[in-house]
DNA sequence: ATAATTTAATTAAACGATAAAGCCAAATAG
DNA sequence: CTATTTGGCTTTATCGTTTAATTAAATTAT
């Protein structure tokens, strides 16, 4: 049996101190209208009685929520988990609340969550879109409601939006250049859909590098698909069926690289022995554990922090709205510890 | 320049249809008071105008939030990321919202977040406590406010609470028994604080197994500390300094195992060559990638799902409150793929 | 045919805060 | 010494819903 205490409200405090509830409200917020002595009295009593403001009432009344909505396609992947943590940390430091929702790579869920967050009257929305997002009307809607919008890492193809991304094109270019300089000629790219920046740009980087070094692109070795393990798995099987295997693969994400790994393992093909793989992703985890893949590292900490910072700036300067774009550099991490590992 | 549309409210719809706003409110919620024909009209207009209910007003008025607060110590770790995803999925299916907060293993943050969530008037709180949580008064407070409380995986030492955990003791016992049967005698346990169930129980399982097989416990090989990579790193260094090294280590978490790995690597000690490690954690990620550790697997999917289920049951049956405890089984995964990997 | 019930709506009163305006006495200005 | 400002509160209105209490008409029961 739980005895349920009624939460204490402003009015209760007001009665006990024989002042109006507005005085209490102002005192608790440190408003200069209220004298030092009463402010102290109010705060002391509030503390004593364990007063907790009713956030809903406060937000309703003040017409702002101090809350930023965050919509991501996945949680249970290193890259997103790290980004989310960074966003939460940055928000905490700036006294903002985060409401996180997860679309699970499904556009309808994304849409539903965005509506839900708008219903909560969030001050802004940080979004990393799903692989299947093509209907962009929802984003127009967000903006038309005066809710700030910052895209994080995954950005839809539309004008006048703010975003924090990495330089995908250069990242991909570097990864391919590395491979070419190492002497590989049979190079594949298991890539992402082109309706989304990371799919498009990574492919472009791949193509530019191939073109620069005059390596012919073999169309069977270039795929366009989703970002999950399953997608990588299937893509590799497709390539395998055709017979001729590449020596090097640039995978669009870490889960895709995992899928490739699994598919290859099933066929008795060794990674990185027979095929070397580089993928985009965060290298901040497990950084000392020997890796089977090279990484085009994306600083999740920086991505998350910058997105929050940009968002708060935009919230605080509602009138001069200029879409901002921040593009962070990537860094190629080679899994050279592989040799060490085998030597152990 | 953004033209800011004023959100549409009940009253706007009411005026257009020449009915009262309560009629609109009821119609939208499918209340039987309202006739079929007006209900249809209202819904059509709401859809047309893109009406979005103001959640804060709704929650304030109805005195419930349909929201469950989730407090976890970390996001950017496989185990928690997976749990969080499971909780979100289960909540989504049951039409509940989740508000996630992250304590970063710090008790003061945890406390602050809990207060914040109470301020939001969540219907219930699912909590996985930090490694340093010792002041349990905040949990009493939660309960005294009639807010449901379910602990997930990490549970404080207090009576009459609900929880969803795994059988840590048996899990640890099994991991040690495995080691003993394999012939190891020099067995270490880099463990967690005993004020928290997972620290205490895993240690108990370790001790019971050692005792059953009459293997003496060497006190230098048993530590009690936090759950992070750093803790594992430091603990191993402590052991290393003393000179005599174990052949097998049971690590209390995956990050701790990683820390041990790193510390060992620095000293030129090979994992699993020189020392075999088993840790608690989820094995659902990267499951085909050869692992350096064995796992006492905890089904994160099941943990998250059950916690949400239990929570919703308790919310829906406010009167007959009985603390419930669900204890899930673990499974030992041996990294036997290690040999394969080296052969490749 | 009248009373009792049901249907479909309306009006009034919260919910717990904040914002805007108003008030009065004390302090300062001219 | 009067006029104006300031300090410190209070009063009133509002935020956008829902819940509870009413009402009027239509239906059913007796």
pLDDT score at A339: 40
Structure tokens that stand for B160 in this block: 């009459």
Chains A–B, number of C-beta pairs less than 8 Å apart? 139
Q: How far does A177 lie from chain B, in Å, by closest CA? A: 27
- The residue length of chain A stands at 344
Nearest C-alpha of chain A: how many angstroms from B265? Answer: 9
Helix axes B254-266, B229-242, angle to 10 degrees: 50
Work out the minimum CA distance from B212 to partner chain A, whole angstroms.
34
pLDDT one-digit tens code per residue, A301-325: 999 999 999 999 999 887 777 899 9
CA of A5 to C1' of D23 (A): 37
Distances (CA, A) of B250 to A53, A210, B57, B182: 46, 48, 52, 14
pLDDT exceeds 90 at position A30: yes
For position A277, what pLDDT does the model report?
95
Task: Give the strand pairing for A276-281 and A294-297.
Answer: parallel
Q: Is the CB of B10 under 7 A from strand D?
A: yes
Q: Distance between CA B49 and CA B37 in Å, rounded?
A: 19
User: What is the three-class DSSP state of B188?
Assistant: strand
Q: Does CATH number 3.40.50.2300 belong to domain B168-298+332-343?
A: yes
Say how far apart CA A67 and CA A96 lie, in whole Å. 6
By residue count, chain B amounts to 344
Measured CA B24 to C1' D25 distance, in angstroms: 21
Strand D at less than 7 A from CB of B138:
no
Task: Write the DSSP symbol of residue A286.
Answer: T
Q: Which two structure tokens, joined as six digits, stand for A10? A: 């402003």
A26 is near strand D: CB distance < 7 Å? yes
- Beta carbon of B60 within 7 Å of strand D? yes
B60 touches strand C (CB under 7 A): yes
> How far is B89 from B308, CA to CA, in rounded Å?
10
Q: A211: helix, coil or strand?
A: helix
> CA–CA separation, B8 vs B51, rounded Å?
6
Measured between its terminal Cα atoms, the distance across chain B in Å is 60
A211's tokens: 């073109």
The C-alpha angle with vertex B109 and arms to B104 and B114, in degrees rounded to 5, equals: 115
Distance measured from the CA of protein residue B29 to the C1' of nucleotide D27, in angstroms:
26
- How much helix, strand and coil, in percent to the nearest 5, is found in chain A? 45, 15, 35
Q: What is the pTM of this model?
A: 0.92
Whole-number Å distance between alpha carbons of A154 and B185: 52
Whether B67-166+300-328 and B168-298+332-343 share one fold: the answer is yes
- Label residue B307 exposed, middle or buried (CB < 10 Å: 0-12, 13-18, 19+): buried
Instruction: For residue B68, give the nearest of B127, B110, B144 by alpha carbon.
Output: B127
Cα gap A295→A74, rounded to integer Å? 20
Mean pLDDT value of segment A154-169: 96
Confirm if B111 and B118 have CB atoms less than 8 A apart.
no
Is residue A6 predicted with pLDDT exceeding 90? no
Determine the 3-state secondary structure of A142 from DSSP.
Answer: helix
Q: Which CATH number is associated with domain A168-299+332-343?
A: 3.40.50.2300
Cβ contact B7 with chain D strand, < 7 A: yes
Q: What is the DSSP string of B244-310?
A: ---SEEEESSHHHHHHHHHHHHHTT--TTTTSEEEEEE---TTTTS--SSEEEE--HHHHHHHHHHH
What distances in angstroms separate CA A105 from CA A19, A102, A115, A133, A327, one per listed residue? 53, 8, 16, 8, 23
Measured CA angle at B310 (ends B298, A6), to 5 deg? 130
Q: How far is B80 from chain A (nearest CA, A)?
A: 8
From the number of C-beta atoms within 10 Å of its C-beta (0-12, 13-18, 19+), residue A217 rates as: middle
Nucleic acid strand D within 7 Å of B19 CB: no
Return the domain boundaries, chain A: 67-166+300-328, 168-299+332-343
Residue with tokens 């979005």: B52
Task: Compute the mean pLDDT over every residue in chain A, rounded to the nearest whole number.
Answer: 92
Distance CA B42, CA B225 (A): 60
A39: its two tokens:
């402010």
A 27-86 → B contacts, CB under 8 A = 50, 52-57, 59-60, 65, 74-78, 80-82, 84-85
Q: Which residue in chain B is spatially nearest to A143 when comparing CA positions?
A: B2
Around Cβ B211, how many Cβ atoms within 10 Å?
A: 11
Distances (CA, A) of A109 to A129, A143, A163, B202, B212: 11, 19, 21, 39, 52
Nucleotide nearest to B54 (CA to C1'): D16
Quick check: helix, strand or coil at residue A342? helix
Contact between chains at B109 and A92 (C-beta distance less than 8 A)? yes
Distances (CA, A) of B239 to A87, B24, B172, B215: 37, 70, 20, 19
Count CB atoms within 10 A of the CB of residue A26: 17
The yes-or-no verdict on residue A336 having pLDDT over 90 is no
pLDDT at A340 over 60: no
Residue with tokens 């009624």, as numbered in its chain? A6
Q: Which ranges of chain B have pLDDT less than 50?
A: 1, 338-344
Q: Which of residues 258-317 of B touch A (CB under 8 A)?
A: 258, 261-262, 265, 270, 273, 285-286, 288-289, 292
d(CA A49, CA A6): 12
Question: Which of B88, B270, B321 has its CB closest to that of A344?
Answer: B270
Say if the Cβ atoms of B102 and A88 lie within 8 Å.
yes
**Cβ of A146 under 8 Å from any chain B Cβ?**
yes
Query: What token pair was written down for A52?
Result: 């907790």
Name which of A234, A284, A254, A258 is nearest A83 in CA terms.
A284
| Cβ count within 10 A of residue A63 | 8
Å between CA of A34 and C1' of D7: 8
Least confident of A25-34, A139-148, A275-284, B270-279: A275-284
Q: Is A173 on the interface with B (CB under 8 A)?
A: no
Please report the beta strands in B167-263, taking only residues with DSSP state E, as ranges in sequence order: 187-192, 222-225, 248-251
**Yes or no, beta carbons of A76 and B99 under 8 Å apart:** no
B230 touches chain A (CB under 8 A): no
Are residues A52 and B292, on separate chains, in Cβ contact within 8 Å?
no
Q: Domain spanning A67-166+300-328: which superfamily?
A: Response regulator (3.40.50.2300)
């Amino acid at each position: 049996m739980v005895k349920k205490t009624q939460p204490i409200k402003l009015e209760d405090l007001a009665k006990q101190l024989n002042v109006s509830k507005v005085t209490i409200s102002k005192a608790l917020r440190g408003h200069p209208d209220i004298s030092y002595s009463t402010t102290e009295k109010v705060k002391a009593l509030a503390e004593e009685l364990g007063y907790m403001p009713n956030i809903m009432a406060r937000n309703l009344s003040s017409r702002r929520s101090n809350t930023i909505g965050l919509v991501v396609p996945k949680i249970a992947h290193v890259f997103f988990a790290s980004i989310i943590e960074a966003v939460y940390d940055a928000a905490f430091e700036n006294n903002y609340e985060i409401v996180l929702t997860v679309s699970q790579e499904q556009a309808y869920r994304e849409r539903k969550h965005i509506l839900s967050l708008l219903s909560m009257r969030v001050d802004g929305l940080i979004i990393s879109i799903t692989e299947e997002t093509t209907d962009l009307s929802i984003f127009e809607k967000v903006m038309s409601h005066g809710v700030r919008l910052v895209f994080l890492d995954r950005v839809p193809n539309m004008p006048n939006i703010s975003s924090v991304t990495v330089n995908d094109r250069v990242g991909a270019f570097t990864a391919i250049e590395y491979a070419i300089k190492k002497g590989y000629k049979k190079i594949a790219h298991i890539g992402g859909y082109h309706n989304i920046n990371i799919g498009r740009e990574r492919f472009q980087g791949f193509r530019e590098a191939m073109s620069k070094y005059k390596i012919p692109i073999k169309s069977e070795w270039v795929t366009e698909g989703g970002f999950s393990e399953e997608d990588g798995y299937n893509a590799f099987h497709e390539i395998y069926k055709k017979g001729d295997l590449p020596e090097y693969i640039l995978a669009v994400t870490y889960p895709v690289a995992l899928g490739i790994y699994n598919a290859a393992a099933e066929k008795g093909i060794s990674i990185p022995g027979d095929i070397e793989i580089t993928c985009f992703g965060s290298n901040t985890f497990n950084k000392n554990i020997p890796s089977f893949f090279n990484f085009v590292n994306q600083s999740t900490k920086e991505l998350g922090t910058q997105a929050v910072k940009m968002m708060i700036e935009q919230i605080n300067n509602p009138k001069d709205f200029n879409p901002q774009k921040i593009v962070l550099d990537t860094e190629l991490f080679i899994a050279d510890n592989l040799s060490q590992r085998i030597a152990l």
